Structure 1
Amino acid sequence: MWAELKREIKEAAPSLGIDDIGFASADPFLSLKAVLLDRREKGYESGFEEPDIDKRIYPELSFDGQPASLISIAVAYPSKMENPPKSAPGERRGILARSAWGRDYHLVLREAMKKLEDFIRERIPEARIENMVDTGALVDRAVADRAGIGFKGKNCLIISPKWGTWVYLGELITNIPFPPDTPVTEDCGECTKCLDACPTGALVGPGVLNAQRCISFQTQTKGFVEEEFMLKIGNRLYGCDTCQVVCPKNKGKHWNHRPELQPDPETVKPLLLPILDLSNRQFKERFGTSAAAWRGKNPIQRNAIIALGNFKDPGSVPKLIDILIKDSRPVMRGTAAWALSRIGGTEALSAIVKAIATETDEEVLKRLRNAESKLMEAETPEV
C-alpha cells in the first residue's frame, strides 16, 4: 500500500511544483551529533541555525508522536541570466546570489509542500504531516542525502546528479511508513575546486564550513564587516555563488522551466547608487519578493557601500560623503569611511577629516582614523 502511494507521489511531484523527491526513514541522525558539536566548539556556526542540537538530530522532537518517514523535496532554480546589464563608470552594479534571483524560495517550497500534503491527505485522511524549510530544526542537506536527492559535496551543498547544486530543499515528517529510497553513491572524487576557489577560505576542509568566514554569511550580517571580508565581498549584495560556479558537477546545468524563479536583471544586478536612497517601503517594493529581503534593507545598503569602495569609482564619492556626514546609522558611516579610503583623493580626505571632528561613535571613529591614515599615506609623495 505504501509503496503504491509513494509511486503515485513521485509521478505527481512535477504537477505539485516539485522537481525531485525522495523518501527516507525518520531515524535519528546520530552521526551528525559529533559534527554539529565540533562546529559549535570551533565557532563555525552562523548563528542562524536551530540552537538545540538535539532538535537537529531527532525528527521526533519536531513531530507530534513517533514519525515513520521523512520526505525530501527539491526545486531547481536558474544559474544563468539572459542579457545581464553591465556595470560602467558612474553606473556600477551589485549582484544577488542565484538563490535569491526569483520569488522567495521559502514561499515556493511551502506552497509545493502544501500541495503535497493535500495530495497525501486526499488518499490518507488520517495522515500526520509536518513540513519545514531551512528555518526548521532538521538539517535539510542531511535529509536530502539520506533520501537520495543527492550527495553532500565538499562545498557542503547537496549535489544532485541531475540538477547539480542549483536546488532549494525542504522536507516533511510523517507517520506514514514509506519505503526508503537509496542514497546516491556518487561523490566529488579528488576534486577540490570549491575549496581552492572559496574567497575567504571558509571551506576549511572537505565538507567542513566555517560559516563565520563565509561571504554569504558576511553579506547577511547587520553590523560592521571587517576589512578582510569587505575586500573579498566585491560587488556582492547578498550571498555568494563561487563554490557552486566552479563545481564541475554544475557544468551545463541551468534551469528555466519555472517562470516565478527567473531573474529580473535590474533587480538581481541593480545599480548601486540608487539602492542607498531607498526607504523601507521602496526597499520592500523592489526586493520584497526575493529571499534577499529577509534581513531588511540595512545589510543590502551597507553591502552597496562596500561594493562602491571595491569598484574605486570616483563618481560615487559625493554620495559616500553624504552618507558619511548625514546618515544616522553608525554602520553606514563607518563603511562609507572605508569605501572613501579605497577610492582616494583630496575630496575624500577632506570629508574624513571633517567627519572625525564631529563623530561620537567609537567604532566609527576608529574606522575614520584608519581611513584618514590610508588617505594621507596615499597623498604623501614617495621620497
Structure 2
Amino acid sequence: MMENNKQFWIELKNDMIDAAPRFGIDQLKVTTAEPFTELKERLIRHRERGHESGFEEPDLDLRTEPTLHMSDAKSLIAIAVAYPSKMKNAPVSEPGKRRGILSRSAWGEDYHQALRRRIAKLSEWIMERVPDAKLLSMVDTGALSDRAVAERAGIGWSGKNCSIISPELGSWIYLGEIITNMPLPPDQALPDGCGDCTLCIDACPTEALVGPGQLNSQRCISFITQTKGFVDDEMKLKIGNRLYGCDTCQIVCPVNRKIDIRRHPELEPDPEIVKPLLRPLLKLGNREFKEKFGTSSAAWRGRKPIQRNALIGLGNFRDAESVPDIADVLRADPRPELRATAAWALGRIGSEEAIERLQEARSEEKDVDVLSAIDRALDKQQKD
C-alpha cells in the first residue's frame, strides 16, 4: 500500500538525490504530473506555422498530459546526464583527407542506451524501497516532452536556443524522466537565465531560430542532416561538413563556453568515429556502417543521410582529390538522392575532371531529379 506519510516521501526524495550519482545520473529533480497546458498551446502554434520536423510524436495530448500515460500519476522524476563538449586529440582535416563531424550528442555510446541503463538502476533502487510504486520511464523517443519536464522540475531553464540550460552543466546534457504514482515533493522551476543575450539566434547558420525559444525545424541543420531525401542547394552550402546534427547554437552560448564534463567514460568520443574521413564513408556497405557507427545515436537513420552529407562536405571543401570517388557515386549508386548530391558536389568542386564526369553522367542518367542536378551543376560552371 502506498505510504501516506509526507515525511517518508521527503526523505525518499532526498535519498534518491544522494544515490543518483552512483547510477551515473548528474542531476535529479522532481515536478508534478500536472498537464503542460502552456506547452500544448505553443505546440499548436508551432504546428500551424509548419515548423515541426516530422520526427515528433504527432498526438499533442500525449506530449503534454502525463496522466494519459499513467492514470494515477502524481510525480515526474527528471534526470540529466552530462556529456563532453570537447574532443581530445582531434584529427586534422587536410586536402585529400577531409573530415566530417558528428554533433556532440552523437559522441560515445548511443545516449538512449546510456540513459535507459541509468534509469533502470534508479528504478530498481526505488522498487526496493517502495514495492508498490508504479514507474514508467521515457528517454527522447517517449511521447512526453523531455524538455518540458526538465524545465518545470528545475533541471535548467529553457534557453532561446530551445535547449534546457543547467547552471552547473550547461546544455550539454541528455534528459530523461520517470512517470510515477509516488507523491514526491516537487522542485521549483528556475528563472530564465538568458537575459538579453541573443548570441544563439544571431549565430544560427540558417536562421532556423525564428525567435527566442522558437525553432523552425524545417530550416534547422540538425534536423536536415537526419532527413533521407533531397536537400536544396542553399541548405547544402549551410551544412558545411556536418554529417549529423549541429552544435552552433550551443557552442556560442556563454553558459556553455567553459563547461566540459567528462564523468562517464562510455560517452567519451572516439575521434575517428565522430570526426571521420569523408571519402571512405562513400563506399561503406550496411554492415561496415553498423560496425563503425552502430553504437552511436547517429546511426538511427541508417547510412543514406551520412553518405549524402559526406558528399555535401566534400563539395563544400572543394576537394578535387575526391572527384573519382564522388563520380563513382554519380555513375553507379542506386539511390537518386545520392547521385543528385554527387552531381552538386562535382559542380561545386568545378575542376576539369569534375566537369568531364558530369558530362559523362549526363548522357547516361535517366532519373529526372538527378538530371536536373547535373544540369544545374554544369550551368554553374558556364556562369562562373
The TM-score normalised by the length of structure 1 is 0.97
**Further displaced range: 281-290 or 346-355:** 346-355
| Matched ranges for 1:4-23 at <5 A | 4-23=11-30
1:328 partner letter: P
Report whether the alignment pairs 1:281 with 2:311: no
Matched, 1:129 2:171: no
How far is the alpha carbon of 1:348 from its aligned partner? 1.5
CA distance in 1, matches of 2:328, 2:192: 54
Structure-1 separation of matches of 2:367 and 2:69: 44
Post-superposition CA distance 1:255-296 (Å, at most 9, x none): 111100001111100000011111101111100000000000
Structure 1 counterpart of 2:39, one-letter code: L
TM-score (structure 2 length as normaliser): 0.97
In the alignment, is residue 341 of structure 1 matched against residue 347 of structure 2?
Answer: yes
Segments of 5+ residues of structure 2 without an aligned counterpart are: 1-7
1:80 paired with 2:95, answer no
SS in 1 for 2:361: helix
Structure 1 residue ranges (4+ consecutive) displaced by more than 3 angstroms after TM superposition: none
The root-mean-square deviation of aligned C-alpha atoms, in Å, is: 0.8
C-alpha distance in structure 1 between counterparts of 2:168 and 2:351, whole Å: 51
Instruction: Name the % identity.
Output: 60
Match of 2:254 in 1: 248
Deviation (angstroms), 1:375: 1.9
Deviation at 1:353, TM superposition (A): 1.7
1:147-193 CA distance string (max 9 Å, x none)? 01000000000000000000000011000000000111242000000
The DSSP-based 3-state class of the residue aligned with 1:39 is helix
Amino acid paired to 1:362: V
Match among 90, 96, 99 for residue 96 of structure 2: 90
What is the letter of the counterpart of residue 13 of structure 1? A
Letter in 2 for 1:12: A
- For residues 225 and 201 of structure 1, the distance between their equivalents in structure 2, rounded to whole angstroms, comes to 17
Deviation of the 1:350 alpha carbon: 1.8
| Aligned-partner Cα distance in 2 for 1:299–1:189 | 37
- The aligned residue for residue 163 of structure 2 is 157
2:64 maps to which of 57, 70, 80? 57
Q: Of 165, 183, 187, which aligns to 1:181?
A: 187
Contact 1:76–1:166 under 8 Å retained in 2: yes
The match for 2:4 is none
Number of residue-to-residue matches in the alignment: 377
Aligned to 1:42: 49
Distance in structure 2 (CA, Å) of the matches to 1:110 and 1:310: 38
Q: Which of 2, 9, 14 lines up with 1:2 in the alignment?
A: 9
Q: Identify the residue that residue 3 of structure 2 maps to in structure 1.
A: none
Find 2:126's aligned residue among 120, 124, 133. 120
Amino acid at match of 1:323: V
**Residue equivalent to 1:99:** 105
In 2, the alpha carbon distance for the partners of 1:362 and 1:72 equals 50
What secondary structure, in the 3-state scheme, does the structure 2 residue paired with 1:249 have? coil
1:228 matched to 2:234: yes
Contact 2:158-2:192 at 8 Å conserved across structures: no
Residue-by-residue CA offset, 1:107-166 (whole Å, 9 max, x unaligned): 011111111110100000110010001111111111000101000000000000000000
Preserved contact between residue 330 and residue 361 of structure 1 (Cα < 8 Å):
yes
Partner of 1:220: helix, strand, or coil?
coil
Shift of 1:33: 1.5
SS at match of 1:204: strand
